[in-house]
Amino acid sequence: MSYYDSFPSTWKDTPKNRQGWQRLQSNTSFLEKQQNLYRTLSCHYCGKGPLTIVHWSDLSSQNSLYKATVDHVVPRAHGGRDNDDNLVVSCGPCNYRKGANMPY
Ligand SMILES: [Zn+2]
């Protein structure tokens, strides 16, 4: 399944979609802190940037390749915490690739 296939062609504000979105971008404050520190956000995995912080309700940008997302180094399912040292900035495709086993 490709990155684009994982998104519905029309974003619907269902509780499930909203939950998935919030899981991907659960920590906007972390992203904003990183942006303040480094001026620009780039992907921890592929180095792509600058990435943009996109609010979940921004329908036009929600599947942007340059959407900044938060990735857990140690997944929460394996006991990872929401601490800053367990979080990295990731672009959408990398986050989706890594999180391919998430039950969407
Ligand atoms: Zn990436």
Classify residue 89: in a domain, yes or no: yes
Q: Cβ neighbours of residue 92 under 8 Å, at least 6 residues apart?
A: 3, 24, 63, 64, 65, 66, 67, 69
Q: Is residue 9 part of a domain?
A: no
Residue pLDDT, tens place only, 33-69:
999 999 999 999 999 999 998 876 776 777 788 989 8
Cα of 31 vs centre of ligand 1, distance in Å, is 15
Quick check: is 12 in a domain? no
**How far does the centroid of ligand 1 lie from the alpha carbon of residue 79, in Å?**
24
In a domain, 40, yes or no: yes
Assign residue 73 a region (left: φ > 0; alpha: ψ between -120 and 50; beta: otherwise).
alpha
The partner residues of 71 in beta bridges, in order of sequence, read: 88
Q: What is the mean pLDDT of residues 63-76?
A: 84
pLDDT of 23: 61
Q: How much distance in Å is there from the Cα of 97 to the middle of ligand 1?
A: 9
CA of 94 to the centre of ligand 1 (A): 4
> 15 versus 19: which is more confidently predicted?
15
pLDDT for 102 equals 44
pTM value is 0.66
CA of 5 to the centre of ligand 1 (A): 17
Is 3 among the domain residues?
A: no
Is residue 7, in this structure, part of any structural domain at all? no
Better-predicted residue by pLDDT, 41 or 97 = 41
Tokens of 101: 């086993």
Domain count of the fold of the chain: 1
Q: Residue 15 Cα, ligand 1 centroid: separation in angstroms?
A: 27
Give the Cα separation of 15 and 89 in Å (integer). Answer: 25
Residue 4 CA, ligand 1 centroid: distance in Å? 15
Asked if residues 46 and 89 have their Cβ atoms less than 8 Å apart, the reply is no
Look at residue 30 and give its three-state secondary structure. Answer: helix
Q: What whole-number percentage of the chain has pLDDT above 70? A: 68
1 inside domain:
no
| Mean pLDDT of the region 4-20 | 62
Residue 71 lies in a domain: yes
Give residue 93's domain range.
Answer: 21-76+84-98
Q: What is the pLDDT of residue 39?
A: 92
Tell whether the model's pLDDT for residue 101 goes beyond 60. no
